[in-house]
Structure 1
Amino acid sequence: MSAAFTPFIGSINNFDYQQHDWVTFKSKLQQFFLANDLNDVSDKAGLKRRAILLSAFTDESFKLASNLVLPKSLEEIGFGDIFKSLDAHFTPKRCGFAVRSQFYAATQQPGESYAQWAVRLRGLAAHCSFKHLEDALLDKFVMGMSAGPEREKLFGMDIDDLSLAKAVDQAESVRCARTAAAASAPAGSGCGPLFKMDGGPRPTTTGAATSEKCAVCGRKNHKTSECRFANYKCKKCNNRGHLRKMCKKMNYVGLCDTSEGDDVLTE
């Protein structure tokens, strides 16, 4: 009587070396072996593991594996040796400083959350061989952040009290508070841009320039109600609401201070 067939737990997708990452596939395959209790004890010769590995290969991947073990065939090579050959082929040799250069050059991208930025940094640091990984991650996380209140907040904190996880939490807290404050602000409470005195015509609501002089400064490119000098004090009469060249109080002839661009007034 034949033994009952026990189905495997989980499944393994096909591996195409031209489209898939070997490291990712290898990790998933090892988890599959673990879940199904396939190891050096239960599968001493590695025949089951070799069969599962090779059956997951596409035709092109199978040909590549065959070429890597030449002059022997895949049926003659043990599972462990096939694994080592594939590792050597797919795992590139890395230059330590070149990898670190990519890490240090990274910056937070537009639309990237602080949690995503931290995760991406961990990936970039995977092959950097930092002696103090957490310190390097914290430094780059803060220094590579987009400019804003979140970055300023972390710059003002004591480094000894920070870890990468705490830095992410602090940045998210500031972002959430800023977002909530902006959402709760009354409509129209924001300050508009200051009127720019550029000497050119200022469009009115109809798109045409006003023909009347401003009673405050004398220009024609804006209305009196829009003048930025409305609260300035006249240097001639000491009253507020107009500049000296628009002062109606007549005085003696003299040279005027031209610090505001006023004309010489004569009585």
Structure 2
Amino acid sequence: MAAAPRSGATLHIKPPDGFSTRGEASSVSKRWKDWLAAFEIYLDVANVGKDSRKRALLLHTAGLEVQEICRGLFSNSAVATYTDLVTALNKHFIPVGNFRHERFVFNSCAQKQDESVSAYTTRLRKLAATCEFEKIKGEDDIIIDQIIAKCNSKHLRRELLQEPNLTLGRVLEIARVMETTNKTRRVKEQQLCIRCGREGHNPNDKGRCPAADRYCHYCGKKGHFQPMCRLRWVEDDNEDKDYEEENACKSQ
């Protein structure tokens, strides 16, 4: 029978991999929370109790990028404790929560194929924890969340999610301005040349269109100016799709 490990024997436990600070802010925030939780489990299992050793291990394990950030955070004073270090890094990596954004992610969360209702409920509970549902003041708050989740305009949704202290009146104001601008633009676009963006001639009238023999600075093709480049419009639309998909991934 194998001998039991001696009391006080050192356990050789692998710490978490280094932490990368690169990426979109909300992604970095989530990864930091997960990394810190894994690191503190490592400290507990490795029985590391001395404060100075915990600080040193965190900085060594997290890696050069986090060390560089700490030099900026504590440039004028020494780090007093491990708790001070963790608090400062949390403030750096975890921005003030945007509950409207969190509710949008919650409302976008659909049950996966072959996912049990129990597992789906667990995911919803996790998402709900940061939605501040307890602060809902009335039907206006619920209507705002529904507009953000289900409005047709991706541009309006993005605008609303970036707006602080949102009220239903402010939602309607932003929407009216955007709708009026879009309507005016559509009417004007019907009167504009699709090559140069100017009025007074047909796009096929190369003798009058100043863009006929010019090259686009965006796609490099001949026959239109950069503001009228269709490739640019497609890529702008793809950015909006990426934004939607990114938030959908957060709900999974």
TM-score scaled by length of structure 2: 0.41
Tell me: higher relative CO, structure 1 or 2? Use CA pairs within 8 A at least 6 residues apart.
2
Larger Rg: 1
TM-score norm. by structure 1 comes to 0.39
Of Structure 1 and Structure 2, the greater helix share is in 2
